[in-house]
Chains A and B, each alone.
Chain A
Amino acid sequence: MDPQRETILGMTRRHFFGRAATGAGAVAIASLLGDDLSAVSATGGIPGVPHFAPKAKRVIYLFQSGGPSQLELYDYKPALERLARTELPDSIRKGQRLTGMTAAQTSFPVAPSLFEFAQHGRSGAWMSELVPHLAEIADELCFIKSMHTEAINHDPALTFFQTGAQLAGRPSIGAWLSYGLGTESSELPAFVVMTSKGSGQPEGGQPLYDRLWGSGFLAGRYQGVKFRSAGDPVLYLSNPDGFSSAARRRYLDDLAKLNQIKLEDTGDPEIETRIAQYEMAFRMQTSVPDLTDLSSEPDSVFDMYGPDARKPGTYAANCLLARRLAERGVRFIQLFHRGWDQHAKLPEEISLQSRDVDQPSAALVKDLKQRGLLEDTLVVWGGEFGRAVYSQGKLTDTDYGRDHHPRCFTIWMAGGGVMPGITHGATDDYGYNITENPVHVHDLHATMLHLLGIDHKKLTYKYQGRNHRLTDVHGEVVESVLA
C-alpha cells in the first residue's frame, strides 16, 4: 500500500481525535484546499514567518470608529486660545481638499478645545481632562501625533486603516496575520472582533462593515470571527434547545464514524479535515462560553475596568474579554467602538465617548501589565482619521462641531516592544498640518508587523498576477517608537 494513503487510512479514530485534540487547527489548515496548499506549513502560517524574533506575540487593537478628535484628547494646542474664532488662514489650509460637508462653508472659524489639558507622568505627556484614567498610565503610552491618512470619509478611511486600501477587496490586518502566523490556540480562532456602541451617539453613528475584518482575496478561513454580546457569542455556537452537550457528543461520534467510512472508501483527505473541524466545533462549544463567562472574575477586576464591564456588549466588557482572549492565545483581537463622528455637539458627545473608553482602556493596559502580558502584547488605540480645527456649523461658547481631518491625528500604542512614555511626531499650532515625523497608515502597518517579527515587504500573497501585501508598495517601519 502507498505509504501516504496508509498514513491517512491507518489512523484509528482514537488516534485521530487524539491528534485533533492537540492540533485540529493544524490538521485543518494543512489539508485545506487552497492556492497556497504547498506554502502553508503544518502548524498553520507560512514557513519562515516570523522572519525574525518578534517583540509582540499578539495585538489588541482598540479601534475608535468615527474619527476621535485629537484636539480634545491628546494634541494640546494652547495657541488656539488666542486664535479662537479667527478664520483658518490659507497659509495653513493650503488649499487642501475638504469633505463635501464643509467644502462650501463660507467661514472656517478656529475652535479651541473646551477641555483642559495637563501634563502627566514622568514623561510629561499632555492629556486632556477627558481621559483621567489614561493619564495615570501616561508613562506606558507611546503617542504618535503625526498619523495621517489619504481618505477623508469613513468608509474608505476605515477600509484603508484595516486593509491598506480604500476600496473593498483586500485582506484585513488580522487576516494577514492569521495567514502569515497561523493560530496559537487550538480552541479559538486566531482573529477575534468585538464591537460596541458609543454613548455619544446612542442612535449608532457611523456603521461598520464585515469587510473591516474580512479576508479579501485570502481564503475565508482567515477572516475575523465576530464575538457577539447578544445571542450566541459565535454564530450558531449553541446546541438547540433540548439537545444536550452529551447528545451532541454522541451525534458527533456517529457522524465521524460515517465520515470515516467514506474516507476509507474515497481516500479524499478533505473528509479527514471535515472530521477534525467538527471536533474543533465541539471544543469551541465549551471554550467560547468559558471565555465569555465573566463570573469567575473577582470584583477587583470589575472595579478596575469600571461598572460597564458587567454589561455585555459594552466597550468595557469587551476590553475585559480582550484580556481573556489574549491569555488564551488569540493572535489578533480587535475592538471597534463606534460613535466618534462629532460633526456637531462635539463637547457633549466626546465627553460621553471618552467616559466609555477611558477607564477600560487604561484598565486593560494595567491588567495586561500586572499579568506579565503587556511585554508581548501590542495595544493600539486610535481611529480612522482626526478632526479639523475649524468649526463645522455654528461655533458658540459651549458648542461646536468638527469635520473629518486626515492630515494629522493622534493614536497611541503600548506594550509589545513599543517605547513607553514617548511622543513621536508633532503638528503645527493649529493642529492642522504635521511639522515633524509624519507616520502614514502604511508605516503604522509596517511597524505593527515588524513588532510581530514580520518584514512587511515579505509577507505577500499572489493574486491577479501580482504579489500583494498589506502595505502595498509603501510603508516604513517607524524605528524611533521601537523599544
Chain B
Amino acid sequence: MFKAYRAAIAPLWLAASLPLPATAATVDFHRDVRPILSDNCFACHGNDESKNRSGLRLDTPDGPSADLGGRFGVVPGEVERSEVYKRISSDDVRRRMPPSSSGASKLSPDEIETIRLWIDQGAEGGGHWAFETPTRPELPEVDGEDWARNPIDFFILDRLSVESLEPSPTAPRETLIRRVSLDLTGLPPTPAEVDAFLADDSADAYEKLVDRLLESPRYGERMAIRWLDAARYADTNGYETDAERYQWRWRDWVIDAFNNNMPFDQFTIEQIAGDMLPNATLEQKIASGFNRNHRQTGEGGTIPEEYAVEYVADRVDTTSTVWLGLSMSCARCHDHKYDPISQKDFYRFFAYFNNVPERGMAFKYGNSPPMIVAPTRAQQAMLSAHDRELAAAQKRFELLADKAEAEQRKWERKLAQGGPVDWTMPDRRLTYFTLDTEDGEASAVDGRVPIEEGVIGRAASFDGKGFLDAGEVAHVDFEDKFTLSAWVKPERLDGAILSKARDVERGTGYGVYLKNGKVQVNLVWQWIERCIRIETQEPIPQGDWAHVLVTYDGSRLAKGLKIYLDGREAEPNVLHDQMTQHFATKEPFRIGAGNGQRFYGLIDDVRAYSYPLSPDEVAILASSAPLNAIAARPAAERSRGERDKLRLAFLHQNAPKKIRETWADTFELRKQRDAMVDSFPTVMVMAERPQRKQTHVLVRGAYDAPGEAVEPGVPAALPPLPTGASNDRLGLAQWLVDRSNPLTSRVTVNRFWQMFFGTGLVKTAEDFGSQGEPPANRELLDWLAVEFVDQGWDTKGIVKTIVTSATYRQSSKARPELRVKDPENRLLARGPRFRLPAEAVRDQALALAGLLVEKQGGPSVKPYQPAGLWTELGGTKGYEVDSGENLYRRSLYTFWKRTVPPPSMLSFDSAGREACTVRAVRTNTPLQALNLMNDVAYLEMSRRLAERMIREGGENAQDRLAWGFRAATARRPGEDESGVLASSLAHFRDHFASDPDAAERYLRQGESPRDQSIPPTELAAYTSVASLILNLDETITKE
C-alpha cells in the first residue's frame, strides 16, 4: 500500500506549493482524480439527477463506464474512446466540458493529464474515500526509525521521504514545555515549572509533563472552548434584541466531561440524546443541551412555523458538521450536488430532531422550554443539607404536635367567646386592601368610591366610573411568581376587577377582568402577539359574592396561570399563549379599573402575594368567616379552608412560645427552600413530544411547502443504524459512534490534530465530502481514527499519543527549503508555529500578570469592554463591566452576546457563535496590535507583570527584564534581545523621570491597585517594557 503511495505523483493539493513534475507512474483515484471530477463535473454528473441530461454519473463507482447507448464516459485503458477525455480536452467550445455556459473554464493541462493517466491506467474508481469505514493501516517501512517515537511518526516519515525531506530536530525543552502547556491547558508554564522540567533528566520527563497537564483541571477548560465554538454556545438568544439566556450549566458539563475523560462515544450519546437514556440523570439531561444552543428568535412578527423549521435545520447542520464533517444543509432545498445525500435524506435526518416540544416563537428574554432546573453540584449539596435541616425541624415540631393540638383547642374556646378576630396570611404579601374605610390606602379617582357592607368587614362600591388608584404596588413581571385575590359582587357581567396596566384597550400590563361573567386574566406586553389570556369556562353569578384568585408561576406559559373561584381551581380556556417578554409597567395598581374598563358592584379584600398560593392556602383566603366565627362552630361544620385558617392563625400568632417558635422554624426553612430552588439555574435541554410530530420533505426548503411525509432515517449512502438501535434520536446517537460509521472518529481526531498543528490533516475540517480537501496523509488519519475507537474513544489517550509523537516535538524553525517546498507546513517536517487562539492570548497575559482567577464554572462574567458597544446597536441594556475577580477569569467564561461579541475575542479570530464553527482561522491585523497595546485590560496586565518583574525578577534591571521575558516565552533572552530590552527600559526611565505626572496617569489603568512601594516613574518604565513583552510576536505565538 505505502509503496504505491510513495511512487505517486505529487498530490494535487500541494501542486501550488510543490512544483514537482507530474510524470510519475500511478494516479491515486481518491487523492488525485475524484477532487477534479467533484469540483468540475458533479454539479451535473453527480447526485442531483435533476441537472443531468446525458445520464452520465461520475460520482458512483460504476457510473463512468456505464453504457450510454454505445457511448461511454470512460473506457478503461482506452483514452481515445473515453467521452470524458474527449470532451475535457476538446478545443471546440460547443463540445467542451465543463460547458462554458456554466461559467466554468477549461480544465488545466495538469488536470487533463491526470484524467488521461487515470483512464490509461485502468480508470480504477470508487466511491468517496471518507464514506468507507477506515481500517488500521500497516506501519510503513521507513528509514530513521530511531527518530520515530510512535506510529504517527512512521506515517509522517513515509510522506516526507516522497519529497526527500528530513524531519526537524526536537525543539529545545523550553519551547516544548511552553508549547505543550499552551496546547493542553491554554496557559503557559510558570518559570518554576520550566526550571523543574529542565532539571528533570529522566527518560520520561516529557511524558510525565504531559500526564501532569492532562490531569490539570485547566485541560478541560482548554478542550471545552473549541467544543463551544462547534456547539454555537453563547449567553444570548442571537436574534434581534439578543437578550440573555442561561446555558452555562451545559458549558460546565462539557468542561467536566473533558476533565473526567469521558469516552467520546458516551460524550456523543449524552449530548445528542442524554434525555432519552433510561433513567437519565440530571447531568445526562444537561448534556442534551448541546442541541438547544442554537439561536432562537422572539422578534415580534415572527411566524412561528418558519423558525421552528430553522431550529431543526440548525441542529441537522451542526450535528452533521461536528460528527460527520458533512454540510447536510446543502440538501435542504435539493439533492446534494456533490455528496450522496438526497433531499429526502436531509428530511429523514431532520425528523430525528423535529420532535422537540418547542415553539418557533421563543421567549425573547431568558430560556425557552423545554428546560429544566439544573442546580450545580454545590447547590445540590446545599439543598440536601437544607432538607436535612428541614426534616429535623419538622421532627421537632411533630414531637410537639399533641401539645399543640391541645393548646389550639384551648385557644379556640377562648376565641369563640371573644369579639371579632381575624388573621390574613401576612407572609410574602405584596399588598393588601381591606377596603373597610373610604379614606383608606387607595385613593378614589373619577368620582367617589363609597364604602358599603362587605364580605369581610366593609367593601368598596363601584359605579362604572370611579375606581381606586392604589399607587405603585404589586409590581410583578413575566418571570415573577405571584397571586392576585379579591372578593367581588358584580352587578354587571363585564368590568375590570383589578389591574396594573395601561388604562386603554389592550394596554400593556396585567389585569383580572369579567367578560360575560367569566373571569379573564390578561398578561400583555403587546396585543395580540405577545400576551397570555385565559378565562374560566364557567361564569360567576351576578349579584352574589364570589372569591376570585389568580396564581402565576413565572413560567411565561398560559399553563402556569390558574384561576380559582371560591377556593376551587376553575377549568380555563386558553385564548392566547405567547408571552415572550416583560409586561411590567409603571402604571398604578387599580381596583375596579383596567384597560379602559370599569367595575359595577362591590369589591372587597384585595390582595397580592409574591408566590403562587397552594390550593390549601387558596382555600384559606376563600374562607370569609373571621376566626372567632369559625371557632364558634363545631369542628365538623368547618370547611377545610376554615380549619387550616384556624390552625395557621394559631401556630403563627397565638400558640405558646415554644410551639410558635418551632413552627416558625419549619415555616422559615420551607420558605428558604423555595427561595433556594428559585435561585437555581435552568438549562435548555432536548425532550421528545409524547406523540411523534410528522416530518415532511419541504419543497425548496420552504417551511410552508410540505411535500412527501418521511420517517426518521440516516443517509442511504452511510451504514444503517446498528442492530437493536431504536429509530429515534437515541438510535441516531448510537449510530454516530458505531464502529461502522466511517466519519465520526476521522472527523474528531482531525479536529484534535487541528488544535495542535494549526491545520487538520483534512484542512477542510468542516467538510469531509467530495468537495472537501483530501487528507494530507490518509494513512495517518485512518490510523488515528481506528486507534481512537480501539482505545475506547479515549480522548486523553489520543491527545497524549499526538503530543508525545516526535512529529509534534520537532523544532518549528522553518528551514529554507521547507519555506519554499511547504510554506503551510502540511507535510510536518517541522513543528507547529502559529498565533495563539483569542482566548489563550488573553488568558496567558492574565497568568503572566498574576491576575488570573482560576475558578471553574458558573455564570458568565463581564470583563473590561469599551463602554457603549451594546447600547449603540440597541437591543438590550448596556454592558455592565463586572468588578473584582470576574475581571480576571479565563476567557471561556466571558459573557458572549452573539450580535455584539466581545471585541477583543473577535479581533483575534474567535468564532462568532452564531452558527457551528469547526475550522480554525487566523488573521494578522492592525486592530490586534491596537487591542494589545491600548486595551485597559492589557495595560493593567502590563503594570502587574511589571510589578512582578520588579518584585520577583531579581535585584538588577537585567535580571528583571530577563525574568519578564522568560515568563512570557519560557526562554532566556539572547544578548541582542537583552540589549533591546535594556535600552527600552533606560529610555522609558528617562522619559517618565522627565514627566512624573505622565507616569502617574499611565499607571492608572484597571481596577487592581498598584504596588505603592515602587516609585511610579520606575514602575511606568517597567510597565512599558512589560507591555512590549506582552506584544511580542513570540509571546502571542505557540512555537
Contacts and interface: CB of A to CB of B under 8 A. Distances in A.
B798 to A, nearest CB: 26
A221 interface: yes
A268 interface: yes
Interface string A155-195: 10000000000011100000000000000000000000001
Interface string B594-618: 0000000000000000000000000
Given A266-B1039, A281-B930, A284-B926, A235 B866 contact: yes
A154 B813 contact: no
Given A99-B303, A250-B987, A258-B1028, A2 B819 contact: yes
B240 A155 contact: yes
B925 A220 contact: yes
A191 B62 CA distance: 50
A286 to B, nearest CB: 13
A87 interface: no
A4 B1031 contact: no
Contacts of B923: 32-34, 219-221
B1028 A254 contact: yes
A305 B789 CA distance: 68
B914 A240 contact: no
A403 interface: yes
B771 A466 contact: yes
A236 B934 contact: yes
A231 B864 CA distance: 14
B300 interface: yes
Nearest to A158: B240
Contacts of A238: 934
Contacts of B723: none
Contacts of B526: 101
Contacts of B934: 232, 236-240
Contacts of A101: 300-301, 526, 529
B866 A268 contact: no
Contacts of B884: none
B833 A266 contact: yes
Given A168-B915, A254-B1028, A100 B998 contact: no
Contacts of A462: 771
A156 B1004 CA distance: 44
A211 to B, nearest CB: 6
B984 A251 contact: yes
Contacts of B339: 465
Contacts of A258: 977, 980-981, 1028, 1032
Interface stretch (A117-125, A269-277, A414-422): A269-277
B928 A277 contact: yes
Contacts of B981: 254, 258
A250 B980 CA distance: 11
A247 B867 contact: no
B709 interface: no
B36 interface: no
Interface stretch (B70-78, B379-387, B871-879): B871-879
Contacts of B976: 261
Nearest to A209: B899
Contacts of A34: 921-923
Contacts of A168: 238, 295, 898, 912, 914-915
Nearest to A462: B771
Interface string A364-402: 000000000000000000000000000000000000000
A435 interface: no
Contacts of B321: 464
Given A100-B361, A236-B934, A267 B819 contact: yes
A271 B1036 CA distance: 11
A126 B892 CA distance: 55
Contacts of A99: 300-303
A274 B903 CA distance: 19
A248 B981 CA distance: 15
A277 to B, nearest CB: 5
A267 B816 CA distance: 8
Contacts of B421: none
Contacts of B310: 167
B1009 interface: no
Nearest to B42: A465
A195 B873 CA distance: 8
B407 interface: no
A228 B927 CA distance: 14
Contacts of B927: 225, 234-236, 281
Interface stretch (A11-19, A131-139, A200-208, A443-451): A200-208
Interface stretch (B106-114, B196-204, B436-444, B761-769): B761-769
A473 B104 CA distance: 15
A268 B529 contact: no
B991 A247 contact: yes
B240 A97 contact: no
Q: Which has the most chain A C-beta neighbours within 10 Å: B297, B339, B817, B928?
A: B928
Contacts of A262: 1032-1034
A93 interface: no
Contact of B1031 (A38, A237, A255): A255
A4 B819 contact: yes
Interface residues of A, number: 95
A281 B930 CA distance: 6
Contacts of A250: 984, 987-988, 991
B1034 A228 contact: no
Given A100-B302, A205-B874, A238-B934, A211 B1031 contact: no
Contact of B1032 (A100, A221, A231, A255): A255
Contact of A268 (B327, B814, B912): B814
Q: Which has the most chain A C-beta neighbours within 10 Å: B529, B907, B924, B931?
A: B924
Nearest to B1004: A241
Given A267-B816, A464-B330, A209 B242 contact: yes
B865 to A, nearest CB: 9
A442 to B, nearest CB: 15
B1020 interface: yes
Interface string B665-705: 00000000000000000000000000000000000000010
Contact of B1024 (A251, A403, A458): A251
A130 to B, nearest CB: 23
Interface in B961-996: 974, 976-977, 980-981, 983-984, 987-988, 991, 995
Given A167-B310, A404-B301, A465-B767, A265 B874 contact: no
B881 to A, nearest CB: 13
A308 B613 CA distance: 56
Given A37-B824, A241-B1002, A254-B980, A153 B302 contact: yes
Interface in B524-565: 526, 528-529
Interface in B705-749: none
A280 B983 CA distance: 24
Contact of B867 (A4, A231, A234): A231
27 contacts: A1-B816, A28-B926, A32-B923, A32-B924, A34-B923, A35-B763, A37-B823, A100-B300, A100-B529, A105-B528, A167-B915, A168-B238, A209-B898, A210-B873, A210-B912, A250-B991, A255-B1028, A262-B1032, A266-B812, A267-B813, A273-B924, A403-B301, A458-B103, A465-B338, A465-B764, A465-B769, A465-B771
Given A37-B824, A255-B1031, A281-B927, 10 more contacts: A28-B926, A208-B899, A209-B898, A220-B907, A236-B931, A242-B998, A255-B1028, A270-B924, A464-B321, A464-B767
Q: List the 5 closest A-B pairs by CB distance, nearest first.
A: A465-B771, A99-B301, A242-B1002, A207-B875, A242-B1001
Interface of B: 16-17, 103, 238-242, 295, 297, 299-304, 310, 321, 327, 330, 337-339, 361, 526, 528-529, 704, 763-764, 766-767, 769-772, 812-817, 819-820, 823-824, 833-835, 866-868, 872-876, 898-901, 903, 906-907, 909, 912, 914-915, 921-931, 933-936, 939, 974, 976-977, 980-981, 983-984, 987-988, 991, 995, 997-1005, 1020, 1024, 1027-1028, 1031-1034, 1037, 1039
